[in-house]
A and B are shown apart, each in its own frame.
Chain A
Amino acid sequence: MMKRLSVIALGLILLFITACSNSAINTSTNSSGGKKEDSDKGTIKIGMTSAITGPYSEYGEGNKRGVELAIEEWNKNGGINGKKIEVKILDDQLVPDKAATNVQQLIADPEIVALIGPAGSGPGLATVPITEAKGMVHMNIVPQTVSVTYPNGTNQPPRKNVFSFALQNDVEANVLGKFAGENWIKVALLHESTAYGKSGIDLISEMLEKDFSVKPVAREEYNQGVSDMTSQLSKIKNAGAEVVVVVGLGADLANIKKGMDRLGLNVPLVATNGALSNPYVEGAGDLVLGTIGSMIGALGQEPLSKEAQKFADAYKKKYGADRYWGNDEENPQLFMSLNVANAYDGANVLFEAIKNAESTKSEDIIKSLESIKDFKGVNATYSFSEQQHHAISEEALNLFEYVKDGDNIKLVPYE
């Protein structure tokens, strides 16, 4: 009985080894490539994992819209070399485990030729090694952590397959650090206790000490979503700070600003892009005056560039002036650069590269991406090379400040 069973089992095993071309055994032992050559069905398929639901869906959903807008435009104009573009979107809720499983699932689909990555540093760091091992093109949209694209620092070569459209931490930190170093001596640093906050402040602190010989008078941290910062701000006040530099989100910045006001800490607040988001303006009200924040400047230009205007029109036509668009009916808010326009640009550049490569092989797309020069997008003008896989540089960033305009508060480029 047992003997017969084991013969049957062995037979089954052999059968499945030979029959299942799509099984884990085959794909894990074969190298990638090869399988995509015959995808001439008339479509080009890309995959995407992002935080469609959950607490960070503001980014994921925005990214999704950006990608879909780009695909619609390309398909209206005949697709890529006559082939329509399709996207398969999976939800990871910004959970690293889910993102990794999703990426495996997308990679397993032989038709998918490139990936658009998750909406946070945690899932970003969890997924890039997987795509890197497979050599699949990976467009990094949101994660600001440098090591997603440059695992060994920006002066070392990037991961071959990862191209970043995110506002990298180091870029933001350089702009803020330079600004603070040039203007103040007693600088206090405050950051949220996340990868984003910690690595950002590290970079700023390093720059202040190295380039300006400024040693920060205080360095404090807080947890996202905390309501009271008295301990932190009291210490900063006691240290005699002339400016508070913060890496954090808008809602928390509003509480920081309110706390500063209550404690009589009347010094400028210089902060990362969160300072230019709606939650900050709405949460802090009139107190936002005097706050300076850094941001991709593209949507703050008057008039908008041709590409930005085209993007704004397309978005408004499809979705209307919704919460991503912001409160101003006429102009999109700056923050769209970080949750919709970045994905839109990423998708456009990817499609352009596939078009130029006239191939969907990973190696060809990478080669084609690295030869992209002066491609005009919404957020920036993109140029990549073998050494440079990120595109948002310090030039693309501007400092903005809140000023009083009659009864209203206006956001204007910092002079």
Chain B
Amino acid sequence: MTSSTFKRISNSGFTKLALFLLFALVPFFFAVNDVQLFIFWGINILLAQSINLLSGFAGQISLGHAAFYAIGAYTSAIFMTKFGLSLVVTILLAALLNGLVGYLLSFPAGRVKEFYLAMMTLGFGFIVQEVAKEWSSVTGGVMGLSGIPSPQLGTFTLLGIPMGLAYYYWVVLVIVVFFLWMFKNFVQSYIGRSFLAVHRSELSAASIGISPQFVKQLAYTVSALMAGVAGALYAHLMGYIGTNSFGMMQSIEILVMGILGGFGTIIGPILGAGFLTFIPNKLQFIQEYQLMIYSLLLVVSFLIIPQGFAGVLKLRTSLYKNLKSKEKSPSPATTVVAKREINDLDANRSHQPILTTTNVIKDFSGLRALNGISFNLYRGEILGLIGPNGSGKSTLVNLISGIYPITSGAISFEDDDITNKQSHLIATKGIIRTFQDPHNVANMTVRENLLLGNHRLYQSGILSCTLNLKRSIAEEQEMLAKVDQIMVLSELAQYADDQVGNLPYGIQRIVEVARAILAEPKILLLDEPAAGLSETELKLLIQLIRYVKSKGIPVVLIDHHMDFVSSLVDRVVVLDSGEEIYTGDMKGMKQNKQVIEAYLGVAKHA
């Protein structure tokens, strides 16, 4: 079976319903202990997806996830045993409390990266375990908490109905399916895509208006929330919880489920969770060699399947929702309109500055990179920013887009002072940039990358996206239509469903420019967009930039390619060693002595 047929079959509603019914039948086929394993699988799916969201999507590794699991388990157990609350309430409490803890953790955790983050979360895990151990009046301390109503013991009721294990299984099944549905909606929304963008690069995410901090806060909160539900389900399954169940090894096992299954997909962690639930149990027959075989499996599985089960099965979760018919491509009419617009070039120019830099100075550890740059960018114009290597062009763009703080001076945009504002806030205002090397998300398709460009235009709330409310779907379709239009314009339609990382360099550049255009910028900053492009790609790029101009959007263009620059720009600013040496039109520049000396002379010799 090819992966596409597999995908088609697994995506059809009929298959999903059949699978759900099949799983609903489990208690009729299997003995109690197996049903219990299935329940564990369900709990582990929630855990695996929880870490998948945090580490796989948002890129924040966690070695302390068992802590969230523990908080969920204890909260639900304590509220049920001490206050007699129903599972419906305790599970909500567990989720909410966990969400709060996750939110709080995101503040220190958001400041550290990679290995440091791993250690911080490891520490968090230990602290929670220690608290559970020492706070014995509430948690039962090292003795653990017994007497939790449990379907295993026939002491568990839900809404007044006594529940056996099979009924509990169905409860878990419904909860897990519901969460998977929400999870899918979530990651396929603009919020889910923003997670992957932050994972790829916080810098580039911020450049299209995604706040890395917000993404992290949300990731920790939602991830903790899911783990909390898993913890609550676990506590009531077992009827007894002890601190030993929530140690470092549990955290690592959760991580292994996600990694082994394949991060960044939905099916992968489900399989990973299943593997770790059933395999150790079914390895019983090898008795004392069990641990050895199990650990060898961990080592070997990565030699054979380095990207987890999802990698082997070539499963990829698409990151957008196309709930209307698939055949919807932009009508030729829109294309024509788009092309006609391009001819209307200078209609929007005006003499009102939209962006002003005043005496901007930037020092890098004592070295002056920019010395008092002041220029205006007018509405509707294309401004070339040129100068030899190291003259400070890119630095200027980095200052405008808020990546580096300014040493002194001011930058204002439409009467707002944007000096030293956070990068994503500047982007949100409409100042969008591209980078010298394309900052696309390599493992996302062209279409998904382009949708990222639309990020700042989305209005739907998180809940609306998660629950697939009509408004959010409509909005997504609207954005998809815009993407389709740009794809036609930039001749990317043929690559729409290819992962960007696998495409030629030139195409990746075009994708990034197209992505920036989709953000509907008020100012577009292009940092050497033509570098490394072929002739045809260059033509395409010029066409795109003209399109932008036709929309009245001013562009700041950095490039070395003189023909390319002169064919587009209205005015130029020439920099040399951090000094502004010329401002004016191209003609004047070519006659300016200082420019010829500093730049053209060098260029001719090079």
Are A12 and B166 in contact (CB-based, < 8 A)? no
Interchain CB contact under 8 A, A96 and B240 = yes
Contact across chains for A101 and B146 when beta carbons are under 8 A apart: no
Q: Which of A13, A57, A96, A101 contacts B40 (CB 8 A)?
A: A101
Q: Which residues of A have CB within 8 Å of B238? A: 96-97, 100, 126
In the complex, are the beta carbons of A107 and B146 less than 8 A apart?
A: no
Whether B153 lies near A145 (C-beta < 8 A) is no
Residue pair A97, B30 in contact (C-beta under 8 Å): no
Instruction: Decide: A107 near B32, CB < 8 A? Known: A129-B146, A151-B146.
Output: yes
CB distance from A170 to the nearest CB of B (A): 14
A133 contacts B152, C-beta separation under 8 Å: yes
> Is A139 an interface residue, CB under 8 A from the partner?
no
Instruction: Identify B169's interface contact among A24, A106, A151, A198, CB under 8 A.
Output: A24
Chain B residues lying within 8 Å of A17, measured Cβ to Cβ, are 28
| Closest-CB distance, B278 to chain A (whole angstroms) | 11
- CB neighbours (8 Å) of A132 from chain B are 153
- A361–B29 Cα distance when bound, in Å, is 27
Whether a CB of chain A sits under 8 angstroms from the CB of B360 is no
Q: 0/1 per residue, B231-246, Cβ < 8 Å to A?
A: 0000000111010110
Name which residue of chain B comes closest to A197, CB basis. B142
Nearest A residue to B290, CB-CB: A53
Cα separation A20 to B154 with both chains bound (whole Å):
21
Asked if residues A125 and B40 are in contact (CB atoms below 8 Å), the reply is no
A199 vs B166: C-alpha distance in the bound complex, in angstroms? Answer: 36
A327 within 8 A of B: no
List the B side residues contacting A121 at CB < 8 Å.
143
Instruction: In the complex, identify which listed stretch (B280-288, B402-410, B455-463) lies at the interface while the others stay far away.
Output: B280-288
B144 and A125 contacting across the interface, CB-CB below 8 Å:
yes
With the chains together, A171 CA to B155 CA distance in Å? 32
Q: How far is the CA of A105 from the CA of B32 in the complex (A)?
A: 7
A122 touches B30 (CB 8 A): no
In the complex, chain A residues 110-151 whose Cβ is within 8 Å of any chain B Cβ: 121-122, 125-126, 129-130, 132-133, 145, 147, 151
Which residue of chain B is the closest to A120 with respect to CB atoms?
A: B244
A10-39: CB near B (< 8 Å → 1, else 0) gives 001100110010111101110000000000
The CA-CA distance from A195 to B244 in the complex, in Å, is 10
- A28 in contact with B32 given A96-B238, A100-B152 (CB within 8 Å): yes
- Tell which of A90, A93, A101, A129 touches B37, judged by Cβ atoms closer than 8 Å: A101
Quote the shortest CB–CB distance from B497 to chain A (angstroms). 30
Q: Are A194 and B142 neighbours in the complex by a CB distance under 8 Å? A: yes
The answer to whether B245 and A97 touch across the interface, beta carbons within 8 angstroms, is yes
B298 on the A face (CB < 8 A): no
Which residues of the partner chain B approach A20 to less than 8 Å between Cβ atoms? 28-29
Q: Determine which of A29, A101, A195 lies in contact with B33 in the assembled complex, contact meaning CB atoms within 8 Å.
A: A101
Known A16-B28, A130-B152; judge A25-B166 contact (CB<8 A): yes
A147 proximity list for chain B (CB < 8 A) = 143, 146
**How far apart are the CA atoms of A29 and B26 in the complex, in Å?**
16
The docked-state distance in angstroms from the alpha carbon of A210 to that of B26 is: 56
User: Given the complex of chains A and B, what is the CA–CA distance between A54 and B146 in angstroms?
Assistant: 25
CB of B421 within 8 A of chain A?
Answer: no
Residue of B with least CB distance to A55: B291
A13, A17, A125, A147, most chain B CB atoms within 10 A: A125
Q: Name the interface size band of chain A.
A: 35 or more
Residue from the list A16, A104, A108, A194 in contact with B152, Cβ < 8 A: A104
- Complexed CA–CA distance, A126 and B341 (Å): 73
B146 touches A29 (CB 8 A): no
- Complex Cα spacing A95 to B249, Å: 11
Q: Is the CB of B28 within 8 A of A96?
A: no
B36: interface (CB < 8 Å): yes
A96 CB contact (under 8 Å) in B29, B33, B245, B280: B245
Q: Which residues of B contact A107 (CB under 8 A)?
A: 32-33
B32 touches A104 (CB 8 A): yes
Known interface pairs A29-B164, A97-B40. Does A23 touch B29 (Cβ–Cβ under 8 Å)? yes
Q: Which of B31, B146, B284, B288 contacts A125 (CB 8 A)?
A: B146
Map CB proximity to A onto B254-290 as digits: 1 under 8 Å, 0 otherwise: 0000000000000000000000000011001001101
In the complex the two chains form, is A126's CB within 8 Å of B28's CB? no
**Residues of chain A within 8 A of B33, CB atoms compared:** 101-102, 104-108
A252 at the A/B interface (Cβ < 8 Å)? no
State whether B143 touches A126 (Cβ < 8 A): no
A122 to B37, CA, bound (A): 20
Q: Which residues from A are CB-within-8-Å of B34?
A: 24
Q: Are A195 and B32 in contact (CB under 8 A)?
A: no
- Write out, one digit per residue, whether chain A residues 61-98 have a CB within 8 A of any chain B CB (1) or not (0): 10000000000000000000000000001110101111
Residues of A365-384 whose CB lies within 8 A of B: none
The answer for the CA separation of A61 and B154 in the assembled complex, in Å, is 32
Question: Could you tell me the distance between the alpha carbons of A145 and B155 in the complex, rounded to whole angstroms?
Answer: 23
B133 lies within 8 A of chain A by Cβ? yes
| Closest chain A CB from B401 CB (angstroms) | 50
Residues of A contacting B144 in the complex (Cβ-Cβ under 8 angstroms): 122, 125, 195
Question: What 0/1 readout, one digit per residue, does chain A (389-400) give for beta carbons within 8 Å of chain B?
Answer: 000000000000
14 pairs, A vs B, C-beta closer than 8 Å: A25-B28, A25-B166, A95-B244, A96-B244, A98-B281, A101-B37, A101-B40, A104-B32, A105-B31, A122-B245, A130-B239, A133-B154, A193-B133, A194-B142
Q: Show the binding face of B for A, using Cβ within 8 Å.
A: 17-18, 21, 25-37, 40, 133, 136, 141-144, 146-147, 150, 152-155, 164-166, 169, 238-240, 242, 244-245, 280-281, 284, 287-288, 290-291
A-B CB proximity, top 6 nearest? A105-B33, A16-B28, A28-B164, A104-B33, A24-B35, A133-B153
